[in-house]
């Protein structure tokens, strides 16, 4: 009985221990499984997240690359406008062409726009296109066919030609758009699918409506002295019309005196010379003057008696001297100039033209003695025998009103009206202005100032 009891006790203890061990194992094993699963799950999650991030980054890279490619494809290429001038100076009645090259061409229209300062905007005045070029070719073809009929070709205000990807455009600004003295323009090209829009720098256009000068003179001109007996007419108003020239005649009298070599001699005043109509009133028969002083008396106060005295001194008589005047005019090529006296009083057959008077003035300008007279406004002379003093004042009222004025010769008569021929320098060039038949008062000087303004614009704009 004792043995059995001990045996049962041992068995019970062993069973209890096994039961506890089994219980422990049942608790430990699931937890270990859970840890393994957790570690595996964490690893999977990290791997999955890494995979997802890589996919996202890859997608972003692809997207960015795609967008860059799309942007590169969408960005238009630049358009260049070249070959044009930024300043144009023209006469109002001259064609005014603005030309430029457009690269790339891409069959686009090209616009010429004018700036409106009042509205601060640009207005398209002309448009050039390849379509117009086709029409122009058709018009030229028609014009060739119609040449025998006298039909004139159609001149296009805007033309465009394309070659090797560059468009050459020409705009002829309409005359009605050139009435402004100064205007601002630009060339504009619209954007295309592949190319950007573009506009040129501002283009300043200066036009002068100088042909329409309001003057009282019946005839007028401007003559540029080019040297060696040559010159250029740059303005003309009835300049080939034969008109009376009044005391501008005395330029020829002065030229013959200087060419005679008698300038440093003395001259006795004859009764005929002293009695010359509208003389100075200061010359008395028998008076003797230095002949050089008579040159000043002719060219400053325009003394008719002094001119007659010089004519007699050089020619021996007034009639012979007049023949010398006409011979000299012919030698100078003044075919529409004729003299009847040495002073310029009205007379039938006594005439010149504005152009030929300008040429005579340019010739007279070659003599330094005449230039010295022109530069003088006042001079006092005396008769050698009687000692009578004579104050000579220039009749050139233009002194002080026009810069760079070198001098000239006035003339006034009933038939001739008020006349003036003057010499000026501007920008290194020498010019002669002539007005014949101006109104009385200050008219000839107003006319002369307008011509001087023309010289200024001409020299600056290089018409």
Q: Point out the residues that are catalytic.
A: 247, 250, 302
Q: Residue holding tokens 């007419």?
A: 233
Bridge partners, 208 (sequence order): 91
Tell me which residue of 248, 238, 297 sits closest to 413, measured CA to CA.
248
In whole angstroms, what separates CA 39 from the centre of its chain?
90
301 in Cβ contact with 310 (< 8 Å): no
173 in Cβ contact with 205 (< 8 Å): yes
Q: Residue holding tokens 């005395």?
A: 250
CA distance 195 to 198: 9
End-to-end, the C-alpha distance of the chain in Å comes to 153
Bridge partners, 110 (sequence order): 128, 189
Tell me which residue of 309, 265, 303 sits closest to 286, measured CA to CA.
309
Tell me which residue of 320, 355, 364 sits closest to 339, measured CA to CA.
320
Give the Cα-Cα-Cα angle 28, 29, 33 (nearest 5 degrees): 120
Separation in Å, CA 98 to CA 88, 144, 171, 229, 259: 8, 27, 5, 37, 52
Tell me which residue of 401, 396, 434, 393 sits closest to 416, measured CA to CA.
434
**Helix H or strand E segment including 7:** helix 2-74
In whole angstroms, what separates CA 64 from the centre of its chain?
54
How, if at all, do strands 378-382 and 121-128 pair? unpaired
**DSSP assigned state of 425:** E
The structure tokens listed for 457 are 């614009």
In whole angstroms, what separates CA 105 from the centre of its chain?
29
CA distance 284 to 298: 16
Tell me which residue of 173, 187, 214 sits closest to 122, measured CA to CA.
187
Cβ neighbours of residue 352 under 8 Å, at least 6 residues apart? 242, 243, 245, 248, 334, 336, 337, 338, 360, 436
CA distance 446 to 397: 11
């Amino acid at each position: 009985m004792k043995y059995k009891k001990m045996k049962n006790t041992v068995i019970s203890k062993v069973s209890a221990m096994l039961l506890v061990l089994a219980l422990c194992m049942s608790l430990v094993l699931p937890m270990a499984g859970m840890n393994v699963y957790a570690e595996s799950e964490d690893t999977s999650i990290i791997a999955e997240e890494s995979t997802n991030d890589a996919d996202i980054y890859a997608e972003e890279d692809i997207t960015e690359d795609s967008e860059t490619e799309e942007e590169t494809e969408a960005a238009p290429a630049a358009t260049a406008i070249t070959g044009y001038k930024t300043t144009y100076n023209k006469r109002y009645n001259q064609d005014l062409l603005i030309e430029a090259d457009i690269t790339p061409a891409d069959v686009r229209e090209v616009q010429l726009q004018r700036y409106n300062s009042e509205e601060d905007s640009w207005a398209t005045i002309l448009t050039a296109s390849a379509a117009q070029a086709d029409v122009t070719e058709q018009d030229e073809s028609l014009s060739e066919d119609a040449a025998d009929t006298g039909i004139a070709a159609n001149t296009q205000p805007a033309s465009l030609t394309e070659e090797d990807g560059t468009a050459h455009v020409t705009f002829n600004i309409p005359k009605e758009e050139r009435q402004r003295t100064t205007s601002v323009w630009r060339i504009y090209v619209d954007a295309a699918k592949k190319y950007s829009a573009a506009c040129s720098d501002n283009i300043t256009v200066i036009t002068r409506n100088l042909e329409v000068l309001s003057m009282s003179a019946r005839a007028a001109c401007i003559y540029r002295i080019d040297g060696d007996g040559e010159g250029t007419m740059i303005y003309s108003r009835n300049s080939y019309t034969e008109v009376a020239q009044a005391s501008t005649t005395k330029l020829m009298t002065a030229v013959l005196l200087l060419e005679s070599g008698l300038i440093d001699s003395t001259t006795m005043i004859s009764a005929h010379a002293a009695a010359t109509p509208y003389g100075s009133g200061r010359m008395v028969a028998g008076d003797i003057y230095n002949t050089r002083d008579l040159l000043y008396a002719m060219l400053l106060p325009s003394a008719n008696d002094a001119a007659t005295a010089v004519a007699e001194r050089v020619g021996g008589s007034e009639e012979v001297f007049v023949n010398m005047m006409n011979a000299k005019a012919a030698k100078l090529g003044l075919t529409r100039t004729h003299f009847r006296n040495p002073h310029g009083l009205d007379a039938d057959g006594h005439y010149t033209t504005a152009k030929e008077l300008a040429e005579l003035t340019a010739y007279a300008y070659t003599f330094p003695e005449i230039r010295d007279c022109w530069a003088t406004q006042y001079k006092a002379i005396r008769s050698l025998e009687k000692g009578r003093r004579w104050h000579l004042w220039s009749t050139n009222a233009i002194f002080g009103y026009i810069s760079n004025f070198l001098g000239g010769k006035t003339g006034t008569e009933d038939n001739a009206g008020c006349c003036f021929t003057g010499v000026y320098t501007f920008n290194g060039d020498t010019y002669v202005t002539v007005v014949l038949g101006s109104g009385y008062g200050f008219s000839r000087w107003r006319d002369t100032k307008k011509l001087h303004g023309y010289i200024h614009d001409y020299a600056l704009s290089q018409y």
